[in-house]
Chain A
């Protein structure tokens, strides 16, 4: 919880910085708590609990910029910390692009609460936590003789943030989160001990899925048994909703102002151009109540708003913060997306599989990377071979390789099943003609 004491301290830190050589400053104060409990084979394995508090102060000194953070929230120590920060910043090269945002861009308050905080986060009965984890673990125990290890964990945390700037911004936010995870290892072929997991997470305790996660984790590991590589070649690729966001991430990363300005992007000078399939519509929708990722202002205090990112395959915006905007003399947008929504189709993963004659369903990535300047990617994958609309063979130890723009231009179909707890609401996706390397 952000207390009045906390707010006074933040205000004091800013005033102190301004009196000691800063022309502008931004102060953010964070506090939070977390607890977790892990159960292995019906025995408590780990218990953990803590509360935290930290302060970040960003100093704008004579056209120079430094950022300083500490968890030593004591006025006396902060005095020397801030003074040292000002001194260090003075040595740097001048950088006139470093400014606070124009005050007209700030979130001014007055909007309804986004309802991201559940007060229950601070007082869930410890016995309930134990029984949730035990119940989840019990769903696995004894259900299959190949089971080696059944684990379940419950965790909750809270995060409170308060931010002020010397040119008039003041904002605060609160969020809670609960999660229940189940994982299971079983004896596979030879020495292999394949494992899998399933989980739910939620902002509110009452909406957390509390049953069935263990059963689902067990199903997911058993269906993996007998994994093998299949022949290299081009396949239709379906990616399930646990993994699809991974493929969108390099595209979103290439839209950041810092990447564009540093030429570290494969989407430079593409605004209003068609970059990917016309089936792709992506919108940033920051103001959805009780949704993970919702916010009225970004890390600089700039007001968020609903905005199209990609429309019919045409790029509609970059994510330009104050620094990048100043550097490139281009209009500022927002420092990054909040809640990503895709225009959805009418099939879930099973529907997409049923519509595929020959392809591969991806249920997990294993390493790999994407080149930020070219969009060339290569990832390790596991999943299932699809033949005539059915999963016929579990596969693993294969790679997919290609280019992000080609991949997204070959988008075949968008599913309708994003995971509700995720801030990137990316459903299952189908792509055609993807290079798989195996045998």
Chain B
């Protein structure tokens, strides 16, 4: 059971969920495969609501004088199968169904949701959310017009409800067998395959209405190896907004190899000596640096409230002119992509840093209105139980022109960070951290001793200004990154070319 208890500490952060206990779900109750091509009429039928109902509920939501209202209907079904001790021996599924009503009055928000979608229940919720306003004005009735999904970033070939558990099971079995076959030291493998499908119907008091079909898949393998009585674990994971066509022998092969590589290196790894030093961030998952060091602090709710360390930095040069950072909701099949965000704004690609200048915050409707600009389409929510807030999508740095070797060769003594599990940031103070699962020492311009399990801490604006070299090897990390903020989880991704940060504080022994 989930309650909306807010986390009041002004932090944000992300975690690779494949490395932790995976959520569990499985099978069943869905619409037909044709649903994904259908639009508003399908969705209204699916949720059992008519256009008249929607108009009545919107009118009730605004009856206390709110400026704006929206209705968000969601039907999500999730499936998970899990393998342990060599057999696919667990299955789970979850169905979540409901609708949320949001009312805005100035910068104030009223929110309520129901799990039983009847006109009476919806009207009750609308009147609860309406209480945020007290303006005594009346609002003209709206005409609802469909916003068609013009760019579908996650077209599905085979919907998850078209394939049965028995068709998914062999992939996990193959993954397990492959990992065991690759290295004699493998002792245990836990693998899990999760898929989810959401039907979303949205409408608002501006007359916009849309339907979106959102698929998601996550596949992960946790590998435990034993050598001379020492045990180490690591993991490999992938996640995309894709249908069952995601399941291929190639992805299984890649994950198996990656799980072995990431676990076996740990047996030779040491804890480094701690302190301030240069850090070369490897390509890919190092995007966690962007997510934590600047991404959260660029989310416009914190800037609107003047509580972000970047609140006075818009249009100012904040780092090296070779640096361009993007938050993108339009990458095909990316875990962070959105056709239309959760408050009716089209998915888009937003340059947040261009040639070293802070060019845009990440906006939802509320913050966009505050700044008098169009929303950047970052209004996202965990589910119908939550109100949308500014969230990242796929956050990455564009490629520069230095080779990774050149970069490493300039470091006399430092750290090369390869893989990460989690990070966190204090949005106002700017201190951010990320946990390095494995990497290397850099000594006299060369990678030498493997290292593991250390936290790295820095301060956002300073770390960004300390990026002195950007590699030519950009890579997106398609892991199971999940971002937490205000008690809401949201799927995201991150990417990065290799980059040299001239000074960060590395955890370690003294």
Contact = CB atoms under 8 A, between A and B. Distances in A.
Interface of A: 30, 32, 34, 36, 38, 40, 43-50, 52-54, 64-72, 77, 80-81, 84-85, 87-89, 91-95, 98, 148-149, 151, 153, 155, 157, 159, 179, 181, 183, 185, 188, 191-195, 197, 199, 224, 227, 229, 232-234, 262-264, 266, 268, 327, 366-369, 371-374, 376-380, 382, 396-402, 435-439
Contact of A48 (B24, B98, B112): B112
B431 A380 contact: yes
A339 B113 CA distance: 33
B60 interface: no
A23 to B, nearest CB: 16
B148 interface: no
A179 B487 CA distance: 15
A349 to B, nearest CB: 19
Contact of B231 (A84, A148, A373, A379): A373
Given A66-B91, A149-B305, A366-B457, A88 B387 contact: no
B475 interface: no
Given A191-B313, A195-B10, A369 B435 contact: yes
A399 B505 contact: yes
Contact of A34 (B3, B94, B232): B3
B24 A155 contact: no
Closest 9 CB pairs of A and B: A437-B274, A367-B433, A399-B507, A93-B87, A367-B424, A193-B428, A84-B28, A378-B507, A378-B455
B446 interface: no
Main DSSP-derived SS at the A contact region: strand
B131 interface: yes
A33 B189 CA distance: 39
Interface string B71-98: 0000000000100110111111111111
Given A54-B1, A92-B165, A401 B454 contact: yes
Nearest to B430: A192
A68 B166 CA distance: 17
Nearest to B506: A437
B132 interface: yes
B89 A64 contact: yes
Name the residue in B187, B424, B433 with the highest tally of chain A Cβ atoms < 10 Å from its Cβ. B433
B477 interface: no
Contact of B428 (A43, A77, A194, A368): A194
Interface in B236-280: 271, 274-276
Nearest to B459: A397
Instruction: Give chain B's interface residue range (CB within 8 Å of chain A).
Output: 35 or more
Given A367-B434, A378-B507, A81 B309 contact: no
B95 A81 contact: yes
B344 interface: no
Task: Name, among B9, B26, B457, the residue most crowded by chain A CB atoms within 10 Å (CB to CB).
Answer: B457
Contacts of A65: 89-91
B429 interface: yes
Given A191-B313, A367-B434, A66 B307 contact: no
A379 B109 CA distance: 36
A23 B485 CA distance: 42
Given A91-B169, A262-B224, 10 more contacts: A32-B1, A40-B305, A72-B97, A95-B89, A185-B428, A263-B224, A373-B233, A374-B231, A435-B510, A436-B510
Contact of A435 (B4, B165, B169, B508): B508
A71 B505 contact: no
Nearest to A80: B29
B15 to A, nearest CB: 9
B453 interface: yes
B108 interface: yes
B129 interface: yes
Contacts of B307: 148-149, 185, 193, 195
B426 interface: yes
A398 B98 CA distance: 44
From B110, B128, B426, B505, residue with most partner A Cβ within 10 Å: B426
B461 interface: yes
A380 B423 CA distance: 10
Given A378-B435, A399-B455, A401-B507, A34 B4 contact: yes
B190 interface: yes
Contacts of B188: 262-264
B431 A366 contact: yes
B395 interface: no
A380 B455 contact: yes
A45 B426 contact: no
24 contacts: A45-B107, A47-B110, A48-B387, A52-B1, A65-B91, A69-B93, A84-B29, A87-B27, A92-B89, A155-B5, A181-B6, A185-B306, A185-B307, A193-B307, A263-B226, A263-B231, A367-B435, A369-B421, A369-B455, A380-B433, A398-B457, A402-B509, A435-B508, A438-B275
Nearest to A366: B433
A64 B89 CA distance: 7
Given A263-B187, A397-B457, A401-B455, A439 B89 contact: no
A91 B29 contact: no
Contacts of B164: 88, 91
B90 to A, nearest CB: 6
Max chain B C-beta neighbours (<10 A), residue from A44, A153, A397: A397
B311 interface: yes
B458 interface: yes
Contact of B505 (A84, A268, A367, A437): A437
A129 B459 CA distance: 37
Given A197-B8, A232-B274, A85 B93 contact: yes
B10 A367 contact: no
Contact of B91 (A88, A159, A234, A374): A88
A77 B75 CA distance: 14
Contact of A81 (B5, B29, B507): B29
Contacts of A179: 5
Nearest to B30: A84
A183 B426 CA distance: 13
Contacts of A64: 89
Given A47-B132, A369-B455, A262 B84 contact: yes
B26 A88 contact: yes
A400 B305 CA distance: 32
B312 interface: yes
B509 A372 contact: no
B129 to A, nearest CB: 7
A340 to B, nearest CB: 20
Interface string B95-117: 11110000000011111111100
A151 B276 CA distance: 35
B5 A157 contact: yes
Nearest to B434: A367
B435 A368 contact: yes
B90 A92 contact: yes
A406 to B, nearest CB: 11
Interface in B395-441: 421-435
A181 B9 CA distance: 10
A36 B110 CA distance: 10
B393 interface: no
A108 to B, nearest CB: 25
Contacts of A379: 455, 507
Contacts of A227: 429
Contact of B508 (A94, A368, A373, A401): A401
B308 interface: yes
Contacts of A402: 509
Given A36-B6, A157-B5, A193-B428, A46 B115 contact: no
